[in-house]
Amino acid sequence: MTQLNSKIPSGPLAEKWTSYKASQNLVNPANKRKIDIIVVGSGLAGAAAAASLGELGFIVKCFTYHDSPRRAHSISAQGGINAAKNYPNDGDSVYRLFYDTIKGGDYRSREANVYRLAEVSNAIIDQCVAQGVPFAREYGGLLDNRSFGGALVSRTFYARGQTGQQLLLGAYGALSKEIHKGSVTMYTRRDMMDLVIVDGRARGIIVRNNVTGEIERHSAHTVILATGGYGNVFFLSTNAMHCNASAIWQVYKKGAFFGNPCFTQIHPTCIPVHGEYQSKLTLMSESLRNDGRIWVPGKKEDAEKIRKGEIKPKDIPEEDRDYYLERRYPAYGNLSPRDISSRAAKERCDAGFGVGSTGLAVYLDFADAIKRLGKGVIEARYGNLFQIYEKIVDQNPYETPMMIYPAVHYTMGGTWVDYELQSTIPGLFIGGEANFSDHGANRLGASALMQGLSDGYFVLPYTIQNYLADQFKVSRFSTDLPEFVAAEKDVRDQINRLMSIKGSKSVDTFHRELGKIMWENVGMARNKEGLEKAIKLIPELRAEFWKDVRIPGTADELNPELQKATRLADFLELGELMALDALKREESCGGHFREEYQTPEGEALRNDKDFTYVAAWEYKGPDKAPELHKEKLNFEYIEVKQRNYK
Ligand SMILES: Cc1cc2nc3c(=O)[nH]c(=O)nc-3n(C[C@H](O)[C@H](O)[C@H](O)COP(=O)(O)OP(=O)(O)OC[C@H]3O[C@@H](n4cnc5c(N)ncnc54)[C@H](O)[C@@H]3O)c2cc1C
C-alpha cells in the first residue's frame, strides 16, 4: 500500500531549503545528456521547468495541446506576481509573505513548502527582469509594487494588466533558446492521453496528435506534468476554454493520489453571468481593488429600482451606499482575501441588495480614485482591463461603476506531491496549478504565478536531480515495451468507444449540465444535502453522456469535439470526487464553505482538531469508492488561529 511521505527536510524552517540543496544528490554534467525528461505543459510552470532543465543539459521533450507555448492559459493572468523584496520599505519580509500565505490558505497548507515559496519569490523577480520582462517601474526607475488581497504590504510586481503575458513571453524566450540549442524538443498540438508506468516508475506518455489524430508513444526517464487547473469542471469559469483536468486525472487513475480536490477558488471580481448560452466568464483583476471601492445600495428599495433600471448608481447618495467590505473588515477593506470577499458579495445579493438586471452583481467603483488621482493614472494602471469591461458590458467604467460577481477561478486541489514535488508514482513530478499546491484552502492573489515559476525555475531543477541521480545508468526506453503497447490500446479503445456512441446531445450540453450541478451543490456554499445530491446526480449524468453524446467527424482528423469529449469524460468523474471530498470535510475553511459550519457572523468555522490535514485520495478502480489518506499538517512556526481581517 502507498504510504504518504511528505519528505519535509529536518532542521529549522528557514534553513530547510538551503540544507536540502546542500545535501541532495546531483547529476554530473556529462550524465545529464543521458537522461530524457518529458514535460507536459508549457505554461509558466512547464515552460520554466523545460527551459531550466534544458539549460542544465538534460534532454527535454515538451508537450502542449496549444499551437505555441505562448498560448498557455498563463497568458491571461492580469494582476501581478508576489515577492518579498520589500522595495516600498513597508515592512515586508520572507517571513511575512510566508505568514500571509499560510493564514490566507486558512492553515491548510504545509509550512515547509510555503516558506520555500516565499524564500524563492525574490529570485523569480530577478530572473524575470534578467529575461527582459517589462515590469512596471516608478518614477525613480525602481520596480513598482501594488497591493493584493490578504496583505497589509505592497508586494505585487506587475506589468499593467498583462503580467501573465509578459512573464510567459519571458519564459517562452528562455524555452526558445533551448529549442534552438536542441536540448528541448517542442511537441505542439498534442494531448496527453495516458501515463506509461514501467516497473513502478513513470517512464512515458501516450499523446494524440490533434491535427492528424495519430496516437504517439514517448518515453523518458521521468515525467513532469504542469498542465494547469481544473476550474472548467464548472463549465463557466474564468479559465481558458480548453483548460482541463485530463492529465492529472489519468495519473490519478494510475496511482497518483489526488490532493484536496474540493478546494476551489471563487474570485470576487468577475463580470457577472449574462445568459444561458454563455460559455466563458471574464475576470476583472483583483488589482482593481487597489483603487476601486466595492458597494451595494444600503436600502433594498434602491437596489430594486436599480434592477428595474429606474435609477442609476450615481443617483444613490453616498450615505445610502453600503461599502460592505470596508464596513465588515475595516483593517483590510476592499483588499480582503478572495474567499471572504466572494462570500460577502453573495451574502449581500442573497439578502436582496444585489444590482444589475439579475440582482447577482455588486459595484466596483472608481469615482473616488479618479477624483483623487486623475483619469490618466487609472488608465495607465488598468487601461486594458477597463477596455475589456467596456467591450463585454457596453458600459464605460470611467463613468459608471463596474458590475462584478464571484466566479470560479482557480483550483487549489490537484495531484498530491511531496516536498520534492514528486507524486505517489515514483518519477512523476507535478508543478504549477496542477499540483495540490502551497495555497491551502484559499489562494491569495498574485501567488499562483509565484508558485508556478518557483516550481519551474527553482524547485524542480533541484529536486528532480535527487531522483535522477542514479538514473543515468538506466538506458533509454523503447516505446515497444508491452507497457506502452497496453497504454496505447487503452487510449484507442476509449476514443473508439466515444466515437461509436453517435448519440443526440452535444458535448457542451452535457458540460453545461455538469457545471450547473457543480455550481449549485459544490460551489461557493456547500451543505451535506447538496453534496449528497451531486454525488447522486453526477454518475447519472455520466451514464447518460456515455449513452447519448454526439461527436461529429472522425478520430483521424482535427476534431475539437472529440478533444472536448475526452476532457469532459474526465470532468464527469472528477466532479464526483470533488463532491465526496467536500462532503467528508465537515468544516469550513478558505474557499470550502460548508453552510453547517459558520460563526454567528457568517465566517468560515474550521475544525482544527479533526481536519488539519491534506486529503489525499487514492483511486481504487472504476466501480469502487476511492480511499481517503490523510497527511497531517503540523504547525511549528505559526500559531493556528481564527483568521481575522477586521
Ligand atoms: C483570468 C485569470 C487571471 C489570473 N491572474 C493572475 C494573476 O494576476 N496573478 C497570479 O498569480 N495568478 C493569476 N491567475 C492564475 C494563474 O494564471 C494560473 O494559476 C497559472 O498561470 C497556471 O500556470 P500553469 O503553468 O500551472 O498552467 P497553464 O498556464 O494553464 O498551462 C498549462 C499547460 O498545460 C498544457 N496542457 C494541459 N493539459 C494538457 C494535456 N492533457 N496534454 C498536453 N498539454 C496539456 C497546456 O497546453 C498548457 O501549455 C489568473 C488566472 C486567470 C484565469
pLDDT in tens, 368-395: 999 999 999 999 889 989 999 999 999 9
Domain boundary among 382, 407, 432: 407
Which numbered atom of ligand 1 lies nearest the CA of 48?
25
pLDDT of residue 276: 79
What pLDDT, on the 0 to 100 scale, is given for residue 277?
82
Tens of pLDDT along 273-283?
987 788 889 99
> Does ligand 1 come within 6 angstroms of the Cβ of 430?
no
Give the structural domain span for 542: 482-609
Q: How far, in Å, from the CA of 389 to the mean position of ligand 1?
A: 22
- How remote is the C-alpha of 144 from its chain's centroid? 25
Residue 163 CA: which ligand 1 atom is closest? 8
Q: How many domains does the chain have?
A: 2
Q: How confident is the model at residue 405 (pLDDT cuts 50, 70, 90)?
A: very high
**Nearest Cα to 131, choosing from 164, 74, 169, 185?**
169
Residues 497 and 370 in one domain: no
Q: Which of 160, 203, 293, 338 is catalytic?
A: 338
Longest dimension (CA), the chain: 76
- Cα 253 to middle of ligand 1, angstroms: 22
Nearest Cα residue to atom 4 of ligand 1? 77
Q: How remote is the C-alpha of 82 from its chain's centroid? A: 15
- The residue whose grid cell reads 499562483 is 448
Residue 247 has pLDDT above 70, yes or no: yes
The answer to whether 425 touches 255, Cβ cutoff 8 Å, is yes
CA-CA distances (angstroms) from residue 24 to 19, 56, 219? 8, 16, 26
Checking if the pLDDT of 97 tops 70, the result is yes
pLDDT attached to residue 160 = 86
Percent over 70 (pLDDT), the chain: 100
Residue 583 domain-assigned (yes or no)? yes
**Alpha carbon of residue 488 to chain centroid:** 29
pLDDT recorded at residue 107: 97
**Which of 367, 389, 407 marks a domain boundary?**
407
**Phi/psi class of residue 508: alpha, beta or left (left: φ > 0; alpha: ψ in -120 to 50)?**
alpha
Specify the pLDDT at position 1.
61
Domain stops at, among 348, 377, 407: 407
Is residue 338 part of the annotated active site? The answer reads: yes
The pLDDT tens digits for 590-605 are: 999 999 999 998 889 9
- Measured CA to CA, the distance from residue 440 to residue 591 in angstroms comes to 9
Do residues 274 and 403 both lie within one domain?
yes
Instruction: Confirm whether 276 is domain-assigned.
Output: yes
- The enclosing domain of 395 has a CATH number of 3.90.700.10
Beta 613-618 vs 258-259: how paired, if at all? antiparallel
Asked whether residue 272 falls in the same domain as residue 403, the answer is: yes
Q: Is 63 in the pocket of ligand 1 (CB under 6 A)?
A: yes
CA distance linking residue 358 with residue 375, whole number of Å = 30
Confirm whether pTM is higher than 0.75.
yes
Whether residues 403 and 488 fall in one domain: no
Percentage of the residues of the chain whose pLDDT score is greater than 90: 93
Q: How confident is the model at residue 461 (pLDDT cuts 50, 70, 90)?
A: very high
Are both 487 and 604 inside the same structural domain?
yes
**Phi–psi pair at 265, nearest 5 degrees:** -100, 130
For ligand 1, whether the C-beta of 39 sits within 6 Å is no
Residue 175 lies in a domain: no
CATH code assigned at 523: 1.20.58.100
Provide mean pLDDT across the span 318-337: 95
If asked whether residues 286 and 397 sit together in one domain, one would say yes
Nearest-atom number in ligand 1 for the CA of 231 is 53
Give the chain's mean pLDDT: 96
> For residue 97, which of 431, 386, 454 has the smallest C-alpha distance?
454
8 A C-beta contact, residue 167 and residue 77: yes
Angle formed by the axes of helices 163-181 and 44-56, nearest 10° = 30
Query: Is residue 570 assigned to a domain?
Result: yes
- Is the CB–ligand 1 distance for residue 74 below 6 Å? yes
The answer to whether position 198 is within a domain reads no
State how beta strands 613-618 and 293-297 pair: unpaired
Mean pLDDT, range 438-452, rounded to an integer = 96
C-alpha cell of residue 452: 508556478
Domain contains 232: no
Higher pLDDT, 556 or 285: 556
**pLDDT for 487:** 98
Amino acid at 528: K
Q: Cell numbers of 310, please? A: 429606474
Per-residue pLDDT of 122-158, as tens digits, reads: 999 999 999 999 999 998 899 999 998 899 999 999 9
Reported as a pLDDT band with limits 50, 70 and 90, residue 286 is: confident
> What pLDDT is recorded for position 2?
67
The answer, yes or no, to whether any atom of ligand 1 lies below 6 A from the CB of 192, is yes
**Grid cell at residue 8:** 519535509
In a domain, residue 566? The reply is yes
Calpha distance 131→55 (Å, rounded): 14
Measured by CA distance, the residue closest to atom 3 of ligand 1 is: 77
For residue 593, being part of any structural domain is answered with yes
Section 527-531 average pLDDT = 98
